[in-house]
Structure 1
Amino acid sequence: MTTPATSLINAEKISKSFGVKPLLDDVSLGVQAGQRIGVVGLNGGGKTTLLEVLAGVEPPDSGRVSHVGDLRMAVVTQRDEFDPALTIGEVVLTPLGVAEHEWASDAKIRSVLDGLGISGLGLGTRIGELSGGERRRVALGAALVQELDLVMLDEPTNHLDVEGVQWLADHLLARRSALVVVTHDRWFLDQVATRTWEVQGGGVAEYEGGFNDWMFARAERSRLDDAAEERRRNLARKELAWLRRGPPARTSKPRYRIEAAEKLIADVPEPRDSVALTAFAKRRLGRVVIELEDATLTTPDERILVEDLTWRLEPGERIGLVGVNGSGKTTLLRTLAGDEDVSPGRRIQGQTVEIGWLRQELDDLPTDIRVLDAVEDVAERITVGDRELSAAQLAERLGFTPARQRTPIRDLSGGERRRLQLTRVLMAQPNVLLLDEPTNDLDIDTLQQLEDLLDSWAGTLVVISHDRYLIERLADSTWALFGDGKLTNLPGGIEQYLQRRSEMAAGGVGSSRAAASARSDSGTIDVKMTTPQRDSAAEREAQKTMRRLERQMEKLGEQQAKLHEQLAEAATDVTRLQELDAQLREVTAAKDEAEMAWLELAEEWG
């Protein structure tokens, strides 16, 4: 076993180009035993190339890469190189010398296979029968079951849900292996990385710490560099301001230079003016946005996902939707968009509603025109907040350089087509946005540009994402599908979701991580609950309290609705707006408290 002082990989003046573009230019760096390094940068900037050159998957054009002798290393890239005739068991277990019937007795192997949902796929299943996401999870599992000195991963969270990302972070933190990981998942990066490499312009800049520390360093660097581009500086400062004002866990690391950070962000406003946006959204949308009444959502094979659902979206509401794969998130989004039948039940849509829907599929793009033409086909200019943007400006903010805007769509990568799809959705200026995994294939800089655009966007937003940071950044409320036929509000956000999932697994309710992940995107499982012996008097009292809380929440909800109306009417009276906003905050806090109390009783007494 290597010691903490051991240098595992050394790269000396390495260069690598594809065509005329140099991705790495005279780069020297190294990986030490025990280090956990996150690799960030723009898409196409050389992150994957750096990882593959260091791993020996790709040779450098010049320079030298050396590995310590007997280095135990696993590399999981985005390439799919498995023989489709092999079974999952042959890929994951055979290299370990473990028989398929013996793996369950090994706690380490069982933890990995369950944590990634691989055991639920069936170890006898052939690789050729799996989806692309399932193959990526198998490749990840095949690496993590091994005893290693170094693990190198390229975008490992892309095909994991929120719970899977949490498990992976915990697993990597518990290992003694060094880690090099390319990722755009900012929460994951901040959890696992003790060092960050930024690949940019052929070079690699190194920073101590994870995402929070890297953002501070970028903001400080921009402040000191008078030649830095103004928009990036403002974005970095704005992002840092949000991080510093967020939950304490984000800002508790001793690496922060707190006084310098506070000085840097002293004049940065809140990311969103919620009062003004809500008032404007009310004027754009009216009272009715999208409502589902007594709706039942099913899979194509008629299995029930959500039953007897009544849900009303409010003007300006920002909702994050989470749940394990196959729980019905995309089906619910399709239902809100009017693309799914809700029988029995009904769907109501306001007369002024204009829906912008970012699907996971890429089947709505023409292929024989240029990128800019495809954007201008939707509109030539849009207004976001108090800013007016041309089609070219919006495309550039979402990652298309002026040169790339002239590229025919048929020549774009899958990730670029995804970004173009998002650009076209925003260019239509919808007042209701439905986003299904918008972060797929977006780098961190483009994600920040998207979030900055949406900070000024007045409308109702529902976003499905496994990106925990994005949900916390954009959404004001979190809702979850647990596979129990219900849509559940989570006042405690992602933390409450993960806690509930952990409690369900520990109590045998629903499914384990393995069974949950094995459902695939087209189905779900039945949830069977074992009812314990109860104290009947205590149960009656609990049910009575729950009914009282339900009445209280209903009244508070009515007060919220009235306050939203009053805010819209007082849009030009600053003093009145402040008074109403204070009242709204009090009512919202009381409602959240009542909801939390109701949820606690519901968990115990059902």
Structure 2
Amino acid sequence: IDGMVQPDAGEVEIGETIRIGYFAQEVPDMDTNQRVIDYIRDVAEYIPTRDGKISATMMLERFLFDSAMQYAPIAKLSGGEKRRLYLLKVLMEAPNVLLLDEPSNDLDIPTLTILEDYLDSFAGIVIAVSHDRYFLDNIVDRIFAFEGNGHLTQYEGGYTDYTEALARKGGAVSEGQSIAVGAEKKKSAQADWKQNRPQKLKFTYKEQREFETIDDDIATLEELLEKLDKDMEANATNSVKLREIMEQKEKAQADLDEKMDRWVYLNDLAERIEAQKSEK
């Protein structure tokens, strides 16, 4: 699609107004001596959005690069932070067509949440190849499934809608099948077995990572709320500061409530997965 590999036959036509942004699995080489802010400003100083122009500095903050990190050399960043910076660079190119190749690989949960929020308001087209079912459910409204023997089928909706559509057709998503590339169909008996066997419960890649970190996230939010309570007591006579702290507390409480809901869901799923294993 991006022209990096030429087709064996036929042509790819790209419209004059199309601006493609390609987020690859591998982070391209960076000048590690360059400052984080300059890496982004080399692309653009501002990015147009539905809410108006946003500066490079504001976008960096949105993608969890505080002022200290913005003026640090890229060499100081971790591998995950470099991937997040690369993602931001692609978005700062202001594309109207985004190609995302396994975007959830090596991105932490906060970055994935920011990306999903950004894509919610993205005015262009997003084409993503991913094995992260949760991510697909959150961002896509159409799926192209490679179902073997060179057969490509279009389904409306996200991943869950896709599996439900398959169920209505009398099929099932087999473990070896991918939204990106479907394996060749096996012998008919094996195919029938895969279609009729019960669906296995398991974490998505993102859910597994979230399950591993959610206890620490909840503890951090609880500590923050305790600190904000103390700050409120210390600033009881400062109405301006008090209002600011109360807003921070409301947000932290909302974040904690959301995390607790996810904790209940993930732990319930973990228990059902363990129960499924013990039945073998």
Q: Is the partner of 2:215 in helix, strand or coil?
A: strand
Larger Rg: 1
Q: Aligned match of 2:191 in 205, 222, 229?
A: 229
2:153 aligned partner, one-letter code: A
Residues 185/84 of structure 1: CA separation in 2 closer, same or farther (3 Å cut): same
Offset from partner CA, 1:370-405 (integer Å, 9 cap, x none): xxxxxxxxxxxxxxxxxxxxxxxxxxxxxxxxxxxx
- Contact 2:143/2:162, CA 8 A, preserved across alignment: yes
Task: Please name the residue that 2:40 is paired with.
Answer: 92
Task: Please name the residue that 2:233 is paired with.
Answer: 533
Q: What does residue range 443-458 of structure 1 map to in structure 2 within 5 Å?
A: 451=202
Q: Is the partner of 1:197 in helix, strand or coil?
A: strand
2:159 aligned partner, one-letter code: F
Q: What does residue range 427-446 of structure 1 map to in structure 2 within 5 Å?
A: none
Residues 61/79 of structure 1: CA separation in 2 closer, same or farther (3 Å cut): farther
- Contact 2:84/2:111, CA 8 A, preserved across alignment: no
Q: Distance in 1 between matches of 2:132 and 2:6?
A: 28
Q: Aligned match of 1:467 in 201, 206, 212?
A: 206
Offset from partner CA, 1:340-365 (integer Å, 9 cap, x none): xxxxxxxxxxxxxxxxxxxxxxxxxx
Note the C-alpha offset of 1:121.
6.9
Q: What does residue range 38-187 of structure 1 map to in structure 2 within 5 Å?
A: 54-85=1-32, 86-97=34-45, 107=54, 109=56, 112-119=59-66, 122-187=69-134
Task: Please name the residue that 2:163 is paired with.
Answer: 215
User: Are 1:204 and 2:172 matched, yes or no?
Assistant: no
Offset from partner CA, 1:66-106 (integer Å, 9 cap, x none): 111131221110133233343322322222146xxxxxxx6
Q: Distance in 2 between matches of 1:158 and 1:72?
A: 24
Q: Distance in 1 between matches of 2:29 and 2:213?
A: 38
- Contact 2:83/2:107, CA 8 A, preserved across alignment: no
Offset from partner CA, 1:486-524 (integer Å, 9 cap, x none): xxxxxxxxxxxxxx69xx9xxxx48xxxxxxxxxxxxxx
User: Are 1:482 and 2:207 matched, yes or no?
Assistant: no
- Contact 1:118/1:137, CA 8 A, preserved across alignment: no
Q: TM-score, normalised by structure 1?
A: 0.31
Q: Is the partner of 1:481 in helix, strand or coil?
A: helix
User: Are 1:238 and 2:185 matched, yes or no?
Assistant: no
- Contact 1:151/1:180, CA 8 A, preserved across alignment: yes
Residues 88/59 of structure 1: CA separation in 2 closer, same or farther (3 Å cut): farther
Q: Is the partner of 1:532 in helix, strand or coil?
A: helix
- Contact 1:162/1:466, CA 8 A, preserved across alignment: no
Q: TM-score, normalised by structure 2?
A: 0.61
- Contact 1:82/1:127, CA 8 A, preserved across alignment: no
2:42 aligned partner, one-letter code: T
- Contact 2:43/2:93, CA 8 A, preserved across alignment: no
Note the C-alpha offset of 1:484.
5.3
Note the C-alpha offset of 1:204.
3.2
Residues 532/141 of structure 1: CA separation in 2 closer, same or farther (3 Å cut): same
2:92 aligned partner, one-letter code: V
Q: Distance in 2 between matches of 1:182 and 1:223?
A: 22
- Contact 2:37/2:57, CA 8 A, preserved across alignment: no
Q: Distance in 1 between matches of 2:83 and 2:215?
A: 25
- Contact 2:35/2:72, CA 8 A, preserved across alignment: yes
Note the C-alpha offset of 1:217.
2.4
- Contact 2:132/2:205, CA 8 A, preserved across alignment: no
Q: Distance in 2 between matches of 1:143 and 1:215?
A: 31
Residues 233/135 of structure 1: CA separation in 2 closer, same or farther (3 Å cut): same
Aligned length: 213
Q: Distance in 1 between matches of 2:192 and 2:69?
A: 53
Q: Distance in 1 between matches of 2:65 and 2:72?
A: 10
Residues 65/72 of structure 1: CA separation in 2 closer, same or farther (3 Å cut): same
- Contact 2:43/2:92, CA 8 A, preserved across alignment: no
Q: Is the partner of 2:98 in helix, strand or coil?
A: strand
- Contact 1:88/1:127, CA 8 A, preserved across alignment: yes
Q: What does residue range 245-260 of structure 1 map to in structure 2 within 5 Å?
A: none
The percentage of aligned residue pairs carrying the same residue is 23
1:207 aligned partner, one-letter code: Y
Q: Is the partner of 1:65 in helix, strand or coil?
A: coil
RMSD between superposed Cα atoms in Å: 3.9
Moved >6 Å (runs of 4+): none
Q: Distance in 1 between matches of 2:35 and 2:6?
A: 31
Residues 471/218 of structure 1: CA separation in 2 closer, same or farther (3 Å cut): farther
Residues 180/132 of structure 1: CA separation in 2 closer, same or farther (3 Å cut): same
Note the C-alpha offset of 1:182.
1.4
Note the C-alpha offset of 1:532.
1.6
Task: Please name the residue that 1:255 is paired with.
Answer: none
Q: Which runs of 5+ in 1 are unaligned?
A: 1-53, 99-105, 240-270, 272-450, 452-462, 486-499, 511-526, 536-606
Residues 222/480 of structure 1: CA separation in 2 closer, same or farther (3 Å cut): same
- Contact 2:80/2:108, CA 8 A, preserved across alignment: no
Note the C-alpha offset of 1:528.
5.0
